[in-house]
Structures are given as structure tokens and as C-alpha cells.
Amino acid sequence: MLIGLFTELDAAGGVQRAGRHLASVMTEFAASRGMECRLLSLNDAAELKRLNVAGREIVFTGTERAKGRFLTTALRAARRKPARGKDAVKLVVAGHPNLAPVVRAMRLAAPKLKSIVCTHGVEVWEPLTKLRRGALRKANLVLAPSQYTADHVATDQGVLREKIRVLPWALDPQFEALAQHAAKAAVPAQFPAGRVVLTVGRWRADERYKGTDTLIKALPRLLPRWPELQLAAVGEGDDRDWLEDLADENGVRRHVHFLSGLSYAELASCYAHAEIFAMPSRGEGFGLVYLEAMACERPVIGGAHGGAPEVIDDGKTGYLVQHGDVAQLATAIETLLSSPETGREMGRLGKRRVENEFRFATFAKSFKKMLRELCES
């Protein structure tokens, strides 16, 4: 029996997308071995839901943020005897470290249960609560999307290094298909004309580390030479008013455009019609948006922090800058605006790197190997 625990699956966001990828591979792996597969989501609606991910249907049950019901359902799944008999393997995969205590409770209820807990980034860059940290250490394997995050799992959470595996997230197969035709697709009505720098990310006070404010502050340095320059920010969140006020304070409000509620196809067209993608963040455990931009052959500018340097090849597929350094960010953008051919070559190299290292098939093969090793150990 294979059991998957997730915070949320049917929603936008990198953690949610990574969860869907994990669930898809688990579903395929279970089917290939004649195993039962049960997928549970904490925050999704309390109903049986179906999603198509990477050409495979995943079926999961939500508990609508009811933590008690989620725990009870997880424990029931742990105790349930698989159809193959009481000695059949049971393996649980938790898509977020906050769910590690649930996994620990499941293992107390079913001592032979094996477990994998996935981490993502900032949530494990500082010590977790004692309960979560202790539960994380009890997992058979702990996954991290970058070596940077893996090192924090070891040093800040005290997980034995032999239990930690680096598993980079993958470009979504659906986005990969859209990217092939995105350059010919129409852009959303709000997408600006001119030379466009694109950024993608939630607008929330607790996620200001993504650097949208720094991009706004860099515009006054760039507009005297490139008056047609525009910043397009795609996202959702209640911090938009703060960003709009910041644009007003810097005298660049008519050069900053906020786009919300876009479809996946519209997002792909935004990447393809922008000249540069930039998210000078200090808190990315990996950065799926960098992969999306690279798949659309855009040069990328990211923060020289976290997992971003493991995705962006500085000077080859884009540039890495210090978070909050307006002058350095403006210089990186200016270099690409001054030499469009440099940007195009970076875009070509970035797309090649995505195809060679970050495709879904590569991710699936690595994750299946881990599942197989735990099932057969």
C-alpha cells in the first residue's frame, strides 16, 4: 500500500505543483506493482477529486482544513490491511515537513510503515518546532529539491545526511507542451507593449523576499535610457496595494503592470513575449518559475541565494544578483537590454539545460527508484 499526504493539491503554487508531480508518480508506481494507492490532502475540499497530471489521472480526498479528520483518516489508512496480506509493504510519502508529525503518528500505529518526507525551502532553513524536527528525523528518507536545502535539513533539523536525498523538481509536462507554441499565442489584454521584464510570484507581505519591490526600485535607473521598458508582474495576493504605492513613490506607476487570474496558457505566452524574466529572490528552495522561463528561451535573473544558483548557470543562462541590491539588479537588466543577442543565447542555453536536466521523465525515474528501494529493502 502506498499512502500520500499533502497540504494541498488543487491550487496554484510551487509546493502544490511539486505535490501533484509526486502524486502522479506514486499513482503510476503503485499501478505498475499492483499496489493500492491512497492520496490525502489537508486543505482541499472534502470530496473525492480527480486531476490529470502528466497524462495520468490522480484521485485524492480532501479534508477542508480539518486537521483532526486528516489525522484520523491517515491513521486509518496506516492500520488498514492491504489486499495482499498483513505482511505487504506500506509506504507513506508526505509532501511537506509540516506533515511529518502525522507520519510519525502513523508509524506508531503501524510500526512496519516506511516513510519519505519532502522539504521545499525556507520552511526548513531555520529549526522547526521540536515536534516537527523530531518527527522529521524519524523518516526513512527526507527529500530536498536542492543541495542548499539538503544542507539546511542536516544542519538545522539534525537529520542524518545518509537519510537525505536531493531530488530537483521538474518542469510541468503541461507547461512544456504550452511553451512550444507560446510565442505564437496571444498575450493577455493587460500585457504591456514595449521591452518587458516579467516576474511571477505571490504578492504577500510574508513573501516580499521574492524581490518584486527591488524590480520596481530599479526602474528609475533604467527608464532614462529605455523609456519603453515595462515591468509585468503576474501573481495574486493582498500585497498588491503596497507594491502599487511603491511604484507611485518611485514615479514609475505607468511602467508597472499587475496581471492576475491567468490561465496556464496565458502565463506561458507572457514568458514567451517578455524579453527578460527576473525574480531576484532570497528564499527560493528551487524556483520552478525559473524553469518555466528557461523553457520559453528567456534569460533569467535570480537571487544569488538558496537553491536558485543550482538552477541558473550564472553568466550562461542568466545572472545571479544579491537580494535587495538595486544597483546590481539594474546592471544585470541593463546588460541584457544593451545586448539582445546575449539574452537570446542565454535563453537557448537555458532551454537546453531544462531539456537535459529538469524534464518530468528525469524526476519520475529518480523518484520511482527511491520508492522501489524502500519497498524492496
Q: Tally Cβ neighbours within 10 Å of residue 251.
A: 11
CA 358, CA 311: separation in Å to the nearest integer?
9
pLDDT tens for each residue of 189-231? 999 999 999 999 999 999 999 999 999 999 999 999 999 999 9
**Contact predicate 39/8, CB 8 Å:** no
pLDDT tens for each residue of 151-181? 999 999 999 999 999 999 999 999 999 999 9
Which residue ranges form the domains of the chain, and what is each CATH number?
A: 2-170+359-376 (3.40.50.2000), 173-357 (3.40.50.2000)
pLDDT of residue 12: 87
pLDDT of residue 377: 80
pLDDT of residue 87: 52
Burial class (CB in 10 A: 0-12, 13-18, 19+), 126: exposed
CA 20, CA 272: separation in Å to the nearest integer?
25
pLDDT tens for each residue of 303-344? 999 999 999 999 999 999 999 999 999 999 999 999 999 999
pLDDT tens for each residue of 55-92? 899 999 999 999 999 999 999 999 987 665 545 679 99
3-state class of 37 per DSSP?
strand
CA 52 to each of CA 23, 30, 107: distance values in angstroms, whole numbers, following the listed order: 11, 16, 30
pLDDT of residue 92: 98
Residue 138 pLDDT greater than 70, yes or no:
yes
pLDDT tens for each residue of 17-50? 999 999 999 999 999 999 999 999 999 999 999 9
pLDDT tens for each residue of 245-286? 999 999 999 999 999 999 999 999 999 999 999 999 999 999
pLDDT of residue 86: 47
pLDDT of residue 169: 97
Share of the chain above pLDDT 70, in %: 98
> What mean pLDDT do residues 2-6 have?
97
**Contact predicate 85/97, CB 8 Å:** no
Measured in residues, the chain has a length of 377
Q: How would DSSP label each residue in 105-117?
A: HHHHHSTT-EEEE
CA 14, CA 122: separation in Å to the nearest integer?
13
Question: Grid coordinates in use for 138?
Answer: 524519524
* Radius of gyration of the CA atoms of the chain, in A: 22
